[in-house]
Every structure is written in structure tokens, then in C-alpha cells.
Amino acid sequence: MYGLITSSAATTSATSNSLSSRIPFALLRQRITNTASCSQLTSIVCVQVNGNSLRSSYSAIKAMADSHTLSVPKNEPQASASVSRQALISLSDKKDLAFLGSGLQNLGYTIVSTGGTASALESIGVSVTKVEQLTRFPEMLDGRVKTLHPNIHGGILARRDQKHHMEALNKHEIGVFDVVVVNLYPFYDKVTSTGGIEFEDGIENIDIGGPAMIRAAAKNHKDVLVVVDSQDYPALLDFLKGNQDDQQFRRKLAWKAFQHVASYDSAVSEWLWKQTVGDKFPPSLTVPLSLKSSLRYGENPHQKAAFYVDKSISEVNAGGIATAIQHHGKEMSYNNYLDADAAWNCVSEFKNPTCVIVKHTNPCGVASRDDIHEAYRLAVRADPVSAFGGIVAFNIEVDEALAKEIREFRSPTDGETRMFYEIVVAPKYTKKGLEILKGKSKTLRILEAKKNEKGKLSLRQVGGGWLAQDSDDLTPQDIQFGVMSEKAPQESELCDAEFAWLCVKHIKSNAIVIAKNNCMLGMGSGQPNRLESLRIALRKSGDEVKGAALASDAFFPFAWNDAVEEACEAGIGVIAEPGGSIRDKDAIDCCNKHGVSLLFTNVRHFRH
């Protein structure tokens, strides 16, 4: 392997900073003349020897120099490290490279590097041995082949505690690596860049040599420290300074390395599948998740929890609560994320200025108005008891006036108590609006989110597996409201039915929504039977139910002496439901009897 030859047994800072490039033995022999003396051997050079470590003393080296010859005694393979420790660095992202390179050099490491990384290190005064000096082979195929060579991978994969491994290295004059620092071509950034990327360019940005080195080092982590993240550079240098042998530290770095490569490969796989087939449901699916935060607990205090961001290519710039900016307030909890997601998904569906208030993932108040202040007040009044402690979402900017309304509005239940909320979420805030909202409460979480794009893949876990489906993106403009009754709805009634239908898709089944004048009056959710959901919605709506629109997330299995007849008798003016029941004719006849308009959408909106 490679031994370190110096002119002095003492190591000084000057010596450690004078590391020279590692050169093949043949080149080294040419540089040493018969007149070389010990005093002339002042620079550090790296030579190949036939032993695992160079254990010769300074006196032996001096004697060889005085006799005008340079030879290294052969030793039996040992498990101990060589005097010259080596680090292999190959980086696409060169963040903090100067810190890493200088730190390793100061610790006495010989640095082996490739192409642009080597040039960057040399430009800051760090001595570098280029990979081709070790492989004795030039970079080729437009850079596709640089490090794929036994002189590199043998030095990474060799187990120091296996005699036959070390003998093989000695036989082929291959040195070992103690540290491997590699990150990969920016494939993810390239294929998600604005305007996209040509197929051939995408292929060329798939890294081959990098993952191979990372996997090799991670597999042999007992002997090789592998680093793929610049944030780990300080910890690496501290570990090396302490001359530690902490296998847990090594295993953590190895885990991170394999995870890094797995995420990289998942991006390549996702992109290539879309380039070749394009089907939304591939036969095998990997979802790369990145930890955003550890949460205080899950749905309940006895459950541990964390929040992960989906790093799939399809999620880049696709909006949603996961990528929202939190401007203020306590850290988000597990339930906060669920509720904020429900509120944001609902409010984002509406084209007109709208306010949505959510409690336990169900919208309890929804209103659309040109005057957003009025929309907010109406949303609260729909169910002020449920709204208290809920999540408020807007689909327009929160300015100073709206922020004051949110801060000062009193509960309709007593006219005195200021409304309390866990979260306010909106697409943006004015500077003054944000300042006023921050003054409402130290704990109020203020989120700025981007609207979810349509066409996302929806995943949901069940025991031992995952369910995948298209997201439910249909809006009233995407469907037809077919008139099934003798009475056709008036234009205002049709608008109310469309509004109620858009609300009901966001409420847990069995779901009923009653609405009028672009305002949700009442809703019934999560009941095992549709009749009970109807009764809850009617009770919440009160006297305003007369002439209102009713939307059901699924068909009515019964009409007479059941939900349809009770709705008609309560004064509902128009009913919108999917249809599809074997008793649809009963629903039609019932509505005709009571003079109620009945619309079939042919679209179901179950939400479990």
C-alpha cells in the first residue's frame, strides 16, 4: 500500500501542511537521484510498498538515503492503518470544500480527487493527488469513466482485518482509503428545473461512478468513513481529530450514504418511468421522504411522531401544506398538519374570495363573497362553537384590514369573547397584515402556502400496504348537473347546489351540506347512516334552510320516510346527489311530490 516518507520522525504543523501529490512508484524512482541525501528528502511523498503499513523507523530511512538507494522493507500484512492516511474526495456540490480539504490536510491526510474537485482544492492551496495518477489511466468517455477502477474500489472495499485482502492489495500495489467524501451529479435539480430538460441531457446527468464509490465505502464502513452531506464535515473532522473508533458513528454515516443513493435512484426511476410509459401506477414504487421535523407527539400524547416532506419529482413546486412557510407561532403538531391540509385543500378549490374554517379535518364554516371580511364573518357564524380553536384559511392575500378583523372579531355566541384559532393559512400576507396577526397571539401559527396542483397521486397507508389513487380534483365546472325532477332549479338555486357540492367533497362520509347564497349553513359528517348526517345538517342550518340547496356525497338508498323526504319537508329547494341507487325513481317521485328540484351529478365524493 502507500506509505508516507518524511525527512523527520517528528510531525510538525509545517510538515503536515506540506503534503505533496501522490505519485506512482515508477515516477518517484525517476525523481530520486543517486546524490539524494536525507536533508534533501524534505517534502512528503507517497510511494507504493509491498507491506500493509510502513513501520520502518526514521533511522532506517536515513540509512537508505545515505547509501543512495531508496527501498522499503517488506512487512507481513497488518490490520493497522498506514502512516499515510488517504481521503478520496469527488464532489459535484462543492459547498464547504475548502473547510473539508484544509481540515483533512491539517490532519495529515493525503487527498485523492477527481477533475473539478481536484482543481478547486488546488486553487485554495490544498495538495491533491489526481485519480489518474493512481489508476494510471486517463479519464475517458466524456467523463463517464474516471473512478471505476480496481486501484480505487480495491482501496475502498478491502477489509483491513482480512489477511488475504491486504495481500491482494500489496500484490497489485493498491493503497487503502480511510475516508470517502462524495456527492452526486445534480440529477434531481436538472430534471426539475424550469423548462424541463431534454431526455439525453437527463441521461447524461445520471451519476454512475459516484454511487458506486458511496456504496462501496458504506459497505466497508468499519474501515472507511463515508460522507455525502457537507453538514457532516465538522463531525467528521472532530471524529478524526479524536482518533476514535466509534462504530455507531460509522454506521450512521453508512446509513446516510445508502439513503442518499436510494433517494437519488428513486428520482432517476421516477423520471425514467414517466419518459417511457407515463402510467401513474408503476409496478414498483419508491417514495423518497425527507424528515422536516420531529413532532411533540402524534394524534395523542402517548404516540411518537415526525413529519416528512415528499421529495418525489412530481411534488416539486406542486404546492401544499408540506412546503408552507411558517411565519409565526408554536411548532406545528401532528393534528395541526392534518387540519391545515384539510382547510387549505378546501379553500383552494374556490375561485371567488373565500374563507374556510376547519375543525378535526371537517369544514365547519365556508363562505364566498367579494368582500372577504363578510366571508370570514359568515364562515364563523355557520358554527361558532366548532370554529373556536379551529383553523382559518383564505384563498386571497391577508392585508391589514383582514388581519384586524381576524384579531378583533368576537364570538357570535356571546358577542364578547375574541375568536381563538390554532392556525391561519393564506397564499400571502402584506407586511402590515402579518405584523397585526403576530400580535393576536404568541402561539398562533401563521402559514403561507402555495395551492396544490391538480393530478397528484394520493397515497394512504393500510396495514401492510398502501392505497394509491388520483386526487379528487373535480369541480362543478368539470361535471354536468342533470335535472331529474319536473321542477328545474332557478339560476340562483343551481349556483347554491354547485357551492354545496364543492363543499361536500371535503367533508367526511356520510356527508351532507346545506348552503345558500355561497355560504354553508350547516353540515353533517362522519355518520354511519346518511339520514343522521342530514338531521345534523338541518339542525345546524336552522330557519335558513328554507329554499336552500342540499348536496350529498353519495346517493340516497331510500327516499320515502327517509333522508330525501325529510329534506323536502324541511323546506330544501334543490338537492344535488350522484344518483345510481336502485331506488332513484323513489327520490325523483318524492321531489316531484314536494316541488323540489333534483339534480344528478353522476359523481360520488366519498371521503373516508
What is the residue-wise DSSP string for 475-492?
-GGGS--EE-SSSPPPHH
Confirm whether 330 is a catalytic residue. no
> Residue 26 — left, alpha, or beta (φ > 0 → left; ψ -120 to 50 → alpha)?
alpha
CA 156 to each of CA 51, 107, 152, 219, 221: distance values in angstroms, whole numbers, following the listed order = 17, 20, 6, 9, 9
Phi-psi group of 439: left, alpha or beta (phi > 0 → left; psi -120 to 50 → alpha; rest → beta): alpha
Cα–Cα dist 221/84, whole Å: 19
Query: What is the spatial order of strands in the sheet that 85-90 belongs to?
Result: 129-130, 109-113, 85-90, 179-182, 225-227
Q: Which residues contact residue 193 at a Cβ distance below 8 angstroms, ignoring those fewer than 6 apart?
A: none
226 secondary structure, DSSP code: E
HSE-up of 399 (CA within 13 Å, CB side)? 5
Q: Are 547 and 567 in contact (CB under 8 A)?
A: no
What one-letter code names the amino acid at 344?
W
Catalytic, out of 311, 360, 438, 487:
360
**219 included as an active-site residue:** yes
Question: 261, 251, 475, 452: which is closest to 348 by C-alpha?
Answer: 452
Q: Note whether 417 and 365 are within 8 A (CB).
A: no
CA 192/CA 317 separation, integer angstroms: 9
Cβ atoms of 579 and 555 closer than 8 Å: yes
Q: Which three cell numbers stand for residue 377?
A: 364573518
Selecting among 94, 219, 428, 451, the annotated active-site residue is 219
* 340 neighbors 349 (Cβ within 8 angstroms): no
- Stated length of the chain: 608
Query: Using CA atoms, how far apart are residues 437 and 165, in angstroms rounded to an integer?
Result: 66
Report residue 565 as a C-alpha cell.
Answer: 323526504
Q: How far apart are CA 269 and CA 275, in angstroms?
A: 10
Catalytic (active-site) positions: 219, 360
